Every structure is written in structure tokens, then in C-alpha cells.
Structure 1
Amino acid sequence: MKHPLAARYDGHDEIQAEIDRRAARPVQEVPTGAVERHHPRRLRLVVDEIRIETSSTRTFRLRREDGQPLPPFLAGQYVNVFTDGTSRPYAIASGPAEHGRHYDLTVRRVPGGRISNLLIDTLAVGDRLTTTGPMGIFHHNPLFHGDDLVFLAGGSGVVPAMSMLREITASDSSRRLHLVYGSRDTEDVIFRDELGALAEVHPDRVRVDHVIGGLLTAATIGELTGPLRGRMVYVCGPQAMYPYALEQLTRLGHPRRRVRFEANGAPARPEAQPHWPSGTDGTEPVTVTARGTRFRSPRNRPLLDALEDHGVRPEAACRSGECGMCLVRVVSGEVHTAEEARLRTADERFGYTHSCVAYPLTDVEIEV
């Protein structure tokens, strides 16, 4: 008997036949050592060098504590850094060609930021960090993105662009990347000297334009980049930059499918999202229950942060609603799941949500 969903999918019979054929074959086990080398759940790293990029930004060069080569990564990916009972994702600034030797993590101080300030103020050469392996989908896809690329960066959003530029200039790649980089002032430009050098040495593949103290308006983008037709545009920067950049690119007639946004944290004000229940006070506390622990937390605090504060720590990585590692099930009560969450149909059907971008609207019980 066919599955009830079979009629909804073309080619179902052929796919099911292939599944049946494969099920009859003997299973070949993949050596766990090979999986761990390329996709480790955790890395133990040591700080080998610290570089001052600007007054508010540091680059930490990390090597593997056991001296083994580091796993490969794609330019634009990140690792999740665990410290102080929580974690934060940081993009890898070094190029993929350097992956066996080190990862460079460039961290910019966030006013009031718990982890960025901790790392910048306390991390020293010889200190140890625990991270995930590389992950993330904000990287070049040669099948769909083409070779003529534009990157709109703001502040520390230049970090994944730096990795992409280092990859392009360290190889015989035919890719071209035009970086349009917005900064508050000239002293706030991260990688300023290296960006200038790369553009000078590789003018056929790298172009860098700085926008100091201004916005990346449609007029500015159009004037600097020329026609965007058919080009992939990457965007990375502060949260407020994303809807603004999309609006400006739309004014230029650029289709949404040709824009790639890097996930960049939970929304600062979930109450401002259209589907937040009208009249619901985000600062009012509700009761959260998980793993036998019960506590009060404001409605506008992400569930993941609230759970970690009380010793309940789901696996997490992007903290932006993208990766799905912090998935939890809402047993009872109601939560607001932010627009950033990339939920599957099955998640919504069975009550699962991404705890990093979910907010308790009523008293809730969570299965972690």
C-alpha cells in the first residue's frame, strides 16, 4: 500500500523503489575516526596569537590543542565558542587554505555583550577554548552563485567577506568579489590595510569600496557596483542592516533569490514582529518548566538564554534560528517563534521550535 503522501510527489514510485533496493544492500560502516576528523562535535583549541585590529576588535588565532590538523571549512562558515555557561558563533576570518594550521576568529566588542567583552578583556595567549567544528550555510555555492559576487558588509560583518577574499586571492579561482563595506569612521575599519593590499595586488578579482559614516543606500550601491543583474549579493552586519539592505536592493530591482543573508542572532525586539500578539507585554515574566526545573523569565527573553541561565543547556550553534540544533518541544503553553526560525513542516505540526529564537508568551513546559 502506498503512503498517503505518495500522490503529492512526482516520481514517488521510482524513489521508493530505489530506497527498497538500497535497504537490501549490506550496510557499510563509516569509520568513526574519519567522521570525527572532518565533522567534530567539539574542538579543544589554544590561543596562539592575538592581533589588535581596531580599538574594539581583536583577532584570536587558534590552534588545536593536540597538534592535529584542524577540520576543513568553507569561506563564510563559523564555529560556536563555548564559555561562561553559554556559547556564541563567530565567523572564521582565515582562508580555507589555512585550515589545517589555524582558525582566526575576529571578535568585535558589543556594548553590554556578555561574551565579546569577556573574550576581548580576558583571553590571553596560551588560554584554551572549546568550540564546535565549522558549520553554517553562508558560503559560496559554485552551482548557484556564479563567479561575479557582491558583498555588503557593516562593522564586523566584514569577517566572512575577509575569509572569502583570502580564499579567492590564495588560489587560481576565477571568482570576483566586490566588497562594499560600511563603517562608522575610518578608525573603525577592520582589516583596513589588508583589504587595501588585496585590492591593489588583485585588481581583476577584488574590489573594495568603503562607505564611512553613511548608509548603504540604493543610490550608493548602484553607483559603486554598477548593474547587479544576475549577481549574487551577500549581506552581513548588524541586525538593523538586513531589512534596510533588502529594501535598497529591491529598489534596484534585484530579486530576493539573489540575496544571501548571514544569520546574525535573535531579534533584539521580538515584540516588534508582526505576529507578536497585540497588547502582550514583553517584559512581563512567565513560568518556564524544563527537565524538572521551574523558573520565571520575561516573555521577550529567548528560551535558550533563559534555559542556560538556569543550568539547562540544549545543544546550540548559530543562535539565530537557522541550524536547528537547539530544537525543543513545547509540551504545554504558547511561544512566539521569531521570523528568523527555519522550521520544518514537521516541527510546526508536532510542537517543536528553535529555542534560540522562541519566546514564552504564557507559562510553558518545554521538553529538551
Structure 2
Amino acid sequence: MKHHLAPLFDGHDDVQAEIDRRPADPADHVATTRRVLDAHHPERLTLTVSAVVPETPTAVTLRLRRPDGADLPPFLAGQYVAVYADGTSRPYAISSSPAHPDHWDLTVRRVPGGRISNHLADTVRAGDAVTTTGPLGTFHHHPLFHGDDVVFLAGGSGVAPAMSMIRDIVDHGIDRRFHLLYGSRSADDILFRDELDGLAAEHPNIRVDHVVTAPGTGWAGPTGLLTAGLVHTLAGPLDGRMVYVCGPQALYPYALAQLTELGHPARRVRFEANGAPADPAAQPHWPADAAPDEEVTVTARGRTFRTRRDRPLLDALEDQGIRPEAACRSGECSLCRVRVVKGAVHTAQEGRLRLSDERFGYTHSCVAYPVTDVELDV
């Protein structure tokens, strides 16, 4: 059907005449496009664990492949996939190289009380099936804006995306300088230590410095935290280099403070989204009269239930069998977006809302907390 505004454009008659002269196209372009999209951006994949590789006393790497042996969707080094288990999901960075599309490696560390991490690390075996999303996330190198000389501050399992980036540089022969400053609790807790040290020794454009907080006997490297002074000592003047930061939640405000002390501009720092805040009530815009441990009522999809104010809405909904699409669980991807019909919620600082969200009542349920009784459109 011709749009009523089309004749207002110069040359419309000639273009329309050309369209009319073309023979009818019987191809189903919608189906073709759908197949291409599903191949590169699938909503769900059921993969097979081909190997479980012990990394440290607290971490393993799960190697995932398609059951039919076909290549997996491509990804950019630094991206993650969400893994589904026990009625919920968690994001894990891919630690393998994009140069090997036949598998993804997910490196998982046990954490106290970890619902999914401990399940994956302790109970999953080779041959088991795992359900994931396709690759997601914006935490990857952008050659136009990030330059060819980057620094990565990693803590604990936050080294996984750095490992993928380093492997990518090596496998593809990328002309990029990469300096990893990697903080661990102890020497035996350093993930990929031998491989990292070996790659740094073989490739002059890659440098790796390990820093441990609890050095044991025989440790001769740097110790303590990644302070401004230590970053300067190891990396030298940052001079506007792009700095990536990934690790436990406490690393983010700390690293930003240290980089700010060095005079490094915030626009040259990239943080990987890493979960909901541990204590949302500690954020300055949490309502002073809302006790975080008190319960409120949530109504969604015809169900009404009680939940604590300091529990993310996404977690509370999943407990009731209501499962919005979710991936990052950190307020970034927006897949778990819901509309607040009645009541008030606290959206954590981590939530990256659109300008129109506040006007129309939308929030990201993974970092939203009900401070009053609420009704949701999910």
C-alpha cells in the first residue's frame, strides 16, 4: 500500500513506476531473515558440557558445545551469556576466544551461598545439558573509541572477559597493547595464571601483573589492593588510555576512586555490569522511612504475594513462578523491564533507564525494589 506522504518526495513517481515494473518476488524474506537472526542472536540454546576443567580450588571452566557439533553464534571478546537453572538465571562472561566458534568456555567460581555458581561448579558434569542465551553485553573493545593501548583492572573471576580479550589478541594477531592488573586473594586463587604468564612472556604487546592480598610463603610479587599508587607504579601514566574494570561489586567504587585520584577521566573507564547492589538501602536516594527488612505486597499477573523491600523485584517474581526475560541482572540490558502500575519502587543507581521510563512508569526489575505495595504490568 502506498503511503499517503510518498507523493510529497521528489522522484516518487519514477521510483513507484520502477517498483511496479518489477516481477513479483515469491521468496519468504521474513522467514529467511528470521533464520539469520536466530543463528546469530538466539533467545535460547541447549548446549552440552563437553568438559569440566578445574582451574583453582574454587573455580572451574565449563566448555559448552552444540550437541550436533555445529559452530556457536559469534561473540565479541568480553561478552557474556546468561545460564538458566533452578528457575532463575545468572550471567557469565565467556572466557574463550572468538577465534574458536565451536565452543564457549564459562569460568565459574564458587561463592558463599551462591545459588547458581555453586550448582554449576559442584554438580554439573561432562555430558550434562545447559541452557543459555546467545552472547550479550557491551563490555568489549571498540576500536574507534578505545584505542590500541588499554589497561584492565580485574578482581577474582572478573578476569574471565580479560582472558577472552587476550586470547582474541593472540589468536587474531591484533596490534593492540593490553596490560592486565589482576588482583586475587592468594597465589593459588589466580585463575589462568600459567597461561597468562606464558602469553605475556611470548607476546610483548601483552603485559600481566598479579597482585595478591594474602601472600603466602615465596610470593615475590605486588601485594595488597589495586591502589592509585600501585596502578601508577605498574601501568605508568594512564594518559587517557581506556581502562576496563571487572570483578566483585566492591571493586567498582574503589577502582573509580583510585582512578579519579590519578586524574583519569571517568569517560575513559568501562565497567562491566555485575549484579544488583548488595545493600540498596545504602544508596542515597533510598527513602529514609522505608525499613529495608519490612515486607510489602506485590501484585503481578493476577497473583499477590509478600516480599522484603530490599529484595529485587525480579527475584521475588521468579520465586512465584513469574519469570520475565532476563540476562545481565545488573540493570543494563533492560530485558526484565516492567511497568509499575501502582505504588513506588527504588531503582538502584545501577539501573540504566531510558529517559521516557520514569515518565511512563517503567523500571528494570533486577535492580528495582518495592518500597510500598506495588502493582506491576509484567
Report the TM-score, using the length of structure 1 for normalisation: 0.92
Measured in 1, the distance between the counterparts of 2:279 and 2:136 equals 26
* Letter matched to residue 366 of structure 1: L
Aligned equivalent of 1:56 = 58
Aligned equivalent of 2:225 = 215
Secondary structure in structure 2 of the residue aligned to 1:31? helix
* Letter matched to residue 343 of structure 1: L
The answer to whether the aligner puts 1:232 opposite 2:242 as a matched pair is yes
User: Can you list the C-alpha shifts for 1:310-350, whole angstroms capped at 9, x where unaligned?
Assistant: 10000000000000000000000000000000000111110
Measured in 2, the distance between the counterparts of 1:329 and 1:110 equals 32
* Letter matched to residue 79 of structure 2: Q
Aligned equivalent of 2:218 = none
* Letter matched to residue 331 of structure 1: V
Measured in 1, the distance between the counterparts of 2:70 and 2:172 equals 24
Aligned equivalent of 2:199 = 198
Aligned equivalent of 1:283 = 293
> How far does residue 121 in structure 1 lie from its aligned partner after superposition?
1.3
The answer to whether the aligner puts 1:141 opposite 2:142 as a matched pair is yes
Aligned equivalent of 1:90 = 92
Given that residues 252 and 271 in structure 2 are in contact (C-alpha distance below 8 angstroms), is that contact kept between their aligned partners in structure 1?
Answer: yes
Measured in 1, the distance between the counterparts of 2:370 and 2:34 equals 39
Aligned equivalent of 1:168 = 169
Measured in 2, the distance between the counterparts of 1:348 and 1:334 equals 11
Measured in 2, the distance between the counterparts of 1:208 and 1:340 equals 29
Measured in 1, the distance between the counterparts of 2:371 and 2:33 equals 45
Measured in 1, the distance between the counterparts of 2:293 and 2:170 equals 49
Structure 2, unmatched stretches of 5+, are: 1-8, 20-24, 214-223
> How far does residue 304 in structure 1 lie from its aligned partner after superposition?
0.1
State which of 242, 245, 252 in structure 2 corresponds to 1:242: 252
User: Can you list the C-alpha shifts for 1:162-205, whole angstroms capped at 9, x where unaligned?
Assistant: 00000001122111100000011101101011011110111x21
* Letter matched to residue 188 of structure 2: E
- Aligned-pair identity (%): 66
Measured in 2, the distance between the counterparts of 1:157 and 1:120 equals 16
Given that residues 347 and 368 in structure 2 are in contact (C-alpha distance below 8 angstroms), is that contact kept between their aligned partners in structure 1?
Answer: yes
Aligned equivalent of 1:311 = 321
* Letter matched to residue 275 of structure 1: H
Aligned equivalent of 1:154 = 155
Secondary structure in structure 2 of the residue aligned to 1:114? coil
Aligned equivalent of 1:8 = none
The answer to whether the aligner puts 1:265 opposite 2:267 as a matched pair is no
Aligned equivalent of 1:115 = 116
Aligned equivalent of 2:343 = 333
> How far does residue 138 in structure 1 lie from its aligned partner after superposition?
0.2
Measured in 1, the distance between the counterparts of 2:58 and 2:120 equals 12
> How far does residue 285 in structure 1 lie from its aligned partner after superposition?
0.5
Secondary structure in structure 2 of the residue aligned to 1:173? coil
Given that residues 83 and 90 in structure 2 are in contact (C-alpha distance below 8 angstroms), is that contact kept between their aligned partners in structure 1?
Answer: yes
Measured in 2, the distance between the counterparts of 1:232 and 1:42 equals 33
Measured in 2, the distance between the counterparts of 1:66 and 1:288 equals 43
The answer to whether the aligner puts 1:78 opposite 2:77 as a matched pair is no
Secondary structure in structure 1 of the residue aligned to 2:245? strand
* Letter matched to residue 189 of structure 2: D
Report the TM-score, using the length of structure 2 for normalisation: 0.90
Secondary structure in structure 1 of the residue aligned to 2:78? coil
Aligned equivalent of 1:130 = 131
Measured in 2, the distance between the counterparts of 1:171 and 1:66 equals 26
> How far does residue 279 in structure 1 lie from its aligned partner after superposition?
3.3
Aligned equivalent of 1:189 = 190
State which of 38, 41, 50 in structure 1 corresponds to 2:40: 38
Judge which range, 27-36 or 155-164, deviates more.
27-36
Measured in 1, the distance between the counterparts of 2:289 and 2:233 equals 44
Secondary structure in structure 1 of the residue aligned to 2:60? strand
Measured in 2, the distance between the counterparts of 1:226 and 1:211 equals 16
Structure 1, unmatched stretches of 5+, are: 1-16
User: Can you list the C-alpha shifts for 1:45-92, whole angstroms capped at 9, x where unaligned?
Assistant: 000001100011000000012322100000000000001000000000
* Letter matched to residue 61 of structure 1: R
Cα RMSD (Å): 1.9
Measured in 2, the distance between the counterparts of 1:68 and 1:75 equals 20
Given that residues 332 and 352 in structure 2 are in contact (C-alpha distance below 8 angstroms), is that contact kept between their aligned partners in structure 1?
Answer: yes
Q: Choose 1 or 2 for highest CA Rg.
A: 2
Measured in 2, the distance between the counterparts of 1:273 and 1:31 equals 44
Given that residues 240 and 265 in structure 2 are in contact (C-alpha distance below 8 angstroms), is that contact kept between their aligned partners in structure 1?
Answer: no
* Letter matched to residue 58 of structure 1: V
Measured in 1, the distance between the counterparts of 2:173 and 2:334 equals 35
* Letter matched to residue 207 of structure 1: R
State which of 306, 310, 331 in structure 2 corresponds to 1:300: 310
Measured in 2, the distance between the counterparts of 1:231 and 1:256 equals 11
Measured in 2, the distance between the counterparts of 1:182 and 1:364 equals 42
User: Can you list the C-alpha shifts for 1:95-120, whole angstroms capped at 9, x where unaligned?
Assistant: 11012x10000000111110011111
